[in-house]
Amino acid sequence: MALGARAGAVLAMVMRQGMMVAAAGVAGGLVASAALTSHLTTMLFGVSAADPATYAGLATVMAIVSALACYVPARRAARVDPLAAIRGE
């Protein structure tokens, strides 16, 4: 922001970077859980290990939680006073 970036641009940049990491984590978790379905069947009751609704629901919940976890620091970064940030360095 000290170099002319708008608060919205800073917010979008931090959110984009955080959500890329979160998306990689969700994708990796989906792949790992799909690969380990044979081990999961002994721990599940009333749901099959390859239930698409469960996978989609959990991926959605994780994406929402990740977005909220990215939004708080992104909002803080967008509200930083540029002069205070420069003085701190």
Question: Please, which pLDDT band fits residue 68 given cuts at 50, 70 and 90?
Answer: very high
20-66 confidence digits (pLDDT tens): 999 999 999 999 988 888 777 777 777 777 788 888 999 999 999 99
Domain of residue 37: give its range. Answer: 12-80
Q: Determine the pLDDT at residue 3.
A: 65
The domain total for the chain is: 1
38: helix, strand or coil: helix
Token pair 């009333």 in the structure block, residue = 46
Residue 37 is assigned to a structural domain of this protein: yes
Residue 4 is assigned to a structural domain of this protein: no
Q: Determine the pLDDT at residue 79.
A: 84
